A and B are shown apart, each in its own frame.
Chain A
Amino acid sequence: MSFRHKHIIALRDLSKDDIEQLLNTAESMREINNREIKKVPTLRGKTIINLFYESSTRTRTSFEIAGKRLSADTVNIAPSNSSATKGETLADTALNLLAMKPDIIVMRHAVSGSHYFLAEKVNCSIINAGDGAHEHPSQGLLDMLTIKDKFGRLDGLKVAIVGDITHSRVARSNIQGLTKLGSSIFLAGPPTMIPPGVERLGNVTVCATMKEAIQDADVVMMLRIQQERQGKTLMPNAREYSRYFGLNPQNLQYARPDAMVMHPGPINRGVEMSSYVVDGSQSHILKQVENGVAVRMAMLYHVCGGTAVE
């Protein structure tokens, strides 16, 4: 059973087998990250362009390190020093980059679906590092790997996702991936931040209160309030939000005693999570970042051997 996708744009496009294969490969990649010499020659001679139209620390660095550990040449392009500030369109930028013969373009863009547009224009592989409020597949995969590390499975787990679901591509990728592998999703957040019809994505329940969502949960995933994406005021103020939808040691007790706490970062300490929880024993936040490199190595590896089916 071989991975047969040229691009990874959304977990929605991948089958359960594809996702399991990516996670298995990522588990094997971890061994490389624990070596003294953290490099294998697998993607020698391949060129990866990291094209980030939105700011990012974790994801960009993680993709860059992943590429380098596989011996690919990685180049970073940020909007502040690229032609986009001079008015070049995405299509033109892509065609210009393509003239330099990259093998993979890893892109983050504020417009949902821009990767599908790009994939039609270019002949190299496209990996989505986040597109608007659509998907963030590498984050979804690394979250799934972190959960699998702790419980040994994803099937039959109760996963609570709390916060700004509407603007969260992390939530969407996790919902797509986790439901395919048999987890149940429980969402909570201010009604203004819950997209209507989200239950149609699969095994998803929208809860009225945070307590209901995290009751007996195996995993509590907290999301950042995406102020930059919210057009209008969706909540009165951060303090009120924190009171109803912030995770603290008191309401964490509703979850299972061995529940794991996750957050995709960057964290607004004291808003969606109290520092007691962020730095507490149930927090797996840094483990998520660690797994990020292995997951992205797996993604880069598999798209390089994939043939076009999309």
Chain B
Amino acid sequence: MSQDTVIFDQAGIARALTRIAHEILEKNKGTEDLVLVGIRSGGDHLARLLRDRIVEIEGVEIPLGTVDITMYRDDISSRGTLPVGKTEIPFALDGKKIILVDEVIFTGRTIRAALDALIDIGRPDCIQLAVLIDRGHRELPIRPDFVGRNVPTARDEDICVFFDHAQPIEVRLVKS
């Protein structure tokens, strides 16, 4: 019997994204050289919403890309092959400030894979990480720069971000 706790509703997610958008602009002093890259799948939707907010605040268009990390996973032999999604970064990364966006940060291994993927494509000036939820249990020395909410969890719990037509509607803590 699983128990779900709603830890973020639609309005809460929207507020957190608005705050993160402001924080990104504050930290980077505007939009110069800024690009957003979302991790498939989930992070790409959040990256698009952050881009919309930044455009709204600053009135400047900024490039948006997505990265698929399947080819960079470290567990191909142990868990079998997964479907490979498309990486779409239709702009040069050299000299850019990349905001990497994911929904939940857990062990940090996904982010490690995404960093490798981005560095294979170009040489950015810097990479900053924005996540909606930080649930702890890091296995690598990686930390997010922008966090929607810190949620302490047990290892056997799960954080699920629910989307409806690419719009985040709810974040739940699922106890198994």
Residue numbers of A with Cβ under 8 A of B are: 1-4, 21, 24-25, 27-29, 31-32, 35, 37, 39-43, 70, 298, 301-302, 304-307
When C-beta atoms are compared, the residue in chain B nearest to A32 turns out to be B71
Is B84 in the interface zone, CB < 8 Å from A? yes
Query: Looking at the complex, which one of B80, B83, B87, B116 makes contact with A31 (CB distance below 8 Å)?
Result: B87
Within 8 A of A (CB), among B100-133: 116-117, 120-121
Closest CB of chain A to B107's CB: distance in Å? 18
CB-defined contacts of B72 to chain A, threshold 8 Å = 40-42
Is B81 in the interface zone, CB < 8 Å from A? yes
Known contacts A27-B86, A31-B86, A42-B71: does B120 contact A304 (CB below 8 Å)?
no
When C-beta atoms are compared, the residue in chain A nearest to B117 turns out to be A40
Known contacts A42-B71, A42-B72: does B120 contact A29 (CB below 8 Å)?
no
A29 touches B121 (CB 8 A): no
Within 8 A of A (CB), among B72-87: 72-73, 76-77, 79-87
Query: Looking at the complex, which one of A35, A43, A307 makes contact with B120 (CB distance below 8 Å)?
Result: A35
CB-defined contacts of A42 to chain B, threshold 8 Å = 71-73, 76
Cα separation A27 to B68 with both chains bound (whole Å): 13
Cα separation A39 to B84 with both chains bound (whole Å): 15
Listed A/B pairs (20) with beta-carbon separation below 8 Å = A1-B83, A2-B82, A4-B80, A24-B84, A27-B86, A28-B84, A28-B85, A28-B87, A31-B87, A35-B121, A37-B120, A40-B120, A42-B71, A43-B76, A70-B71, A298-B84, A302-B81, A305-B79, A305-B80, A305-B82
Listed from nearest, the 10 A-B pairs whose CB atoms lie closest are: A305-B81, A305-B80, A28-B84, A40-B71, A42-B71, A25-B84, A28-B86, A302-B81, A31-B87, A37-B120
CB-defined contacts of A2 to chain B, threshold 8 Å = 80-83
When C-beta atoms are compared, the residue in chain A nearest to B113 turns out to be A41
